[in-house]
Amino acid sequence: MTARDRSPKTLSSIPLPISLLLQRDWRYAAGFFWLRIKEISGARRNDVATDFWSGKKEPSHKACRTLADRLFAGGRGEEALSALMLAVDPTEPQTFEIVLPQLVYAIDHLWGWSSEISSKDCILQRLSAWRRSARGDFAGTDDNIFRITELQKLDLIDRTESLPPTRVHNEGGTESDKLSIVVMPKEKATKLNHYQTDYNDLVGAKLPLRLARDVSMVRAKLIAEYPHAVGAIDLLLRDFREGEPVRLSPILLMGPAGAGKTRLVRRLFSDLFGIGVYCYDGGGASDNMFGGSPKAWGNTTPSVPVRAISQMHVANPVVLVDEIEKAGTSSRNGRLWHALLPHLERETARCYRDVSLDAELDLSWITHIATANSIENLPAPLKDRYRIIRVPAPRLADLPALAAGIMRELAAENGEPEFVWPLAKDEIEVMGRAWEKAGFSIRKLQKIVTATLAARDSLAARH
C-alpha cells in the first residue's frame, strides 16, 4: 500500500502528525490537515485560508503558525503540532527545533497505530530526513520537507550527502541573498592540530544566518510574559527587521538581581527566534580566556564567539556574558573586559584572528549581549560600546503572568504537555506574600512556583 493509496478513513485512525509524515508533498499534507480541522470551530481556518493556500512560503507558514496557536489554545495538541509541521522550512533549520522533540517523544511514548498503515521503523526512517533538515543538510534546496522525505525514501537523495548548499554572500550581496556566510575561509586558516578537530568542519563551511520571523508576534508574547519589562522589550526589538538576518549592536541589560534579564534573553532569542544563546559567566572570569588560548598550548581553546558558532553551527548566534560587572579586575592574566573589546566593533570582528586556531574569521554577525546589576565600575571603553537597556524589577501585579511563564517552562523541562491547570486565587495570594518577602526576584519566584506545584500534586495524591 502506497501513501497515495491510503484512504482518509484509514489515515484518520492514526495520529494526524503521523499521517502528515506519510505524505509525499506539502500540498498533500496541507490538504489532509485542512480537512481534519474543518469541524474545529476554534481554529477559524477561513480567517487564514487566503494566506494558507497562497503558494507563497512566508504568508503560508505564518498562517500555519497562527493555526497552531489557536489549536494549542483550544487543547488540540495533535492538530497544533501538525500545523507546526507544515510551517517548517529546510532553508531555516531552526524551524524544526520546536517540532522534532515533540514528534519523537510522541512516537516513542504516546502514539500507536495499525501496522497496515506503516511500521514504527518506517516512520522513524522518514523522520531521519527531518533530523537532517534540522541539522541544515538541506538548507540550499527549494524543496519542502515532505518532498525531501519522499526523495530520500526513493534513494534519489544520498543519505550521507547534503543537497547543494545555498549561495553565499558576505557584505556585498543584497539583503535578500544574505542567507549564509563563510566564517572561516580556507585561504585564511592554517592547519588545525589534533586538539582542534572539533573545528575542522568550520573551515570553508557555509553557515546559515538565522532570520527574524513574526517580530510583532514575538513582541506580543514577550509583553504578555514579562509585563514589567515592556520598555526594555521594545528597545531590544528595535533593530529586528522582518525576514532579515538577526544582527544587533552590542547590548547591555542593566537591572536589579532577579529582574529576569538572562531569562528574557534566552526566551527572546532561543525560544522565539530559534537562535542559540551561548552563555559565559562573567562573574567567574578572572582572566582573558574569553579570547581563547594560544595554539601552542597543550589544552588550547578558541575564543568564546568561535565556540558559540561551532556549537550552534550558525553564523549569527548570541553570546551572552552574564554578570559582566563581577569579572575579575586583576591584569596579571589578562581581563575579560579587554578580551571583549575587539568583538564589540563590527570592523575588527569581521577579520578577527583567533589565537588558538591561528585563523582569520568573520565573527561580525554575532550578537553580543551582557547583563549587569550596575555599570558603575565598568571601564568607559566598554560602556561606550554597549547600548544600555534598563530592565526594572517586577511588581506584585506581574505575578500571574510571570508565574504562568515559569509553569510552562517547568512543564517543558519535564516533558509534560504544555497545558497546566492555572493557578487558583488562593495559590496566587500565598505565592504573592512569599514573593514579596523574597524581594520580587524572578529567580526566587521560580522556587515558589515549584513548591506550589509540588504542594498541589501532594494534595491531589491524598485525594
Domain presence at residue 184: no
- What's the domain count of the chain? 3
Give the per-residue pLDDT at 287: 64
Q: From CA 321, how far away is CA 284, in angstroms rounded?
A: 11
Q: From CA 6, how far away is CA 23, in angstroms rounded?
A: 10
Is residue 345 domain-shared with residue 365, that is, in the same domain?
Answer: yes
Is residue 382 domain-shared with residue 405, that is, in the same domain?
Answer: no
Which CATH number covers residue 379?
Answer: 3.40.50.300
Of 63, 74, 118, 127, nearest in space to 96 by CA: 127
Domain presence at residue 128: yes
Give the per-residue pLDDT at 2: 42
Is residue 332 domain-shared with residue 219, that is, in the same domain?
Answer: yes
Average pLDDT of span 133-155: 81
Domain presence at residue 174: no
Tell me which H or E stretch contains 318. Answer: strand 318-322
Higher pLDDT, 339 or 332: 339
Q: What percent of the chain has pLDDT over 90?
A: 39
Last residue of a domain, one of 128, 153, 178: 153
Is residue 371 domain-shared with residue 444, that is, in the same domain?
Answer: no
Residue 422 sits in which domain range?
A: 396-462
Is residue 80 domain-shared with residue 145, that is, in the same domain?
Answer: yes
Higher pLDDT, 2 or 235: 235
Q: From CA 21, how far away is CA 442, in angstroms rounded?
A: 40
DSSP 104: H
The predicted model scores a pTM of 0.59
Is residue 438 domain-shared with residue 369, that is, in the same domain?
Answer: no
Task: Tell me if 307 sits within 8 A of 348, measured CB to CB.
Answer: no
Is residue 137 domain-shared with residue 267, that is, in the same domain?
Answer: no
Per-residue buried b or exposed e for 79-96, using 16+ beta carbons within 10 Å of the residue's own CB:
bbbbbbbbbbbbbbbbbb
pLDDT per residue as tens digits for the range 152-193? 776 544 443 433 333 333 333 333 334 889 999 999 988 887
Is residue 222 domain-shared with residue 299, that is, in the same domain?
Answer: yes
Residues forming beta bridges with residue 245, ordered by sequence position: 211
What does pLDDT average to over the chain?
Answer: 82
Instruction: Band the pLDDT of 452: cuts 50, 70, 90.
Output: confident
Q: How many other C-beta atoms are found inside a 10 Å radius of the C-beta of residue 50?
A: 11
pLDDT per residue as tens digits for the range 402-412? 888 888 777 77
Is residue 272 domain-shared with residue 415, that is, in the same domain?
Answer: no
Within 22-139, residue ranges assigned H as helices are 26-36, 49-52, 57-73, 77-86, 99-105, 120-135
Q: From CA 181, how far away is CA 168, in angstroms rounded?
A: 5
Domain presence at residue 198: no
Residues forming beta bridges with residue 361, ordered by sequence position: 352
Chain centroid offset of residue 192 CA: 30
Is residue 146 domain-shared with residue 270, that is, in the same domain?
Answer: no
Is residue 384 domain-shared with residue 246, that is, in the same domain?
Answer: yes
Domain presence at residue 88: yes
Beta strands at 251-254 and 387-390: parallel, antiparallel or unpaired:
parallel
Last residue of a domain, one of 127, 153, 179: 153
Is residue 46 domain-shared with residue 94, that is, in the same domain?
Answer: yes
Average pLDDT of span 310-321: 94
Give the per-residue pLDDT at 330: 61
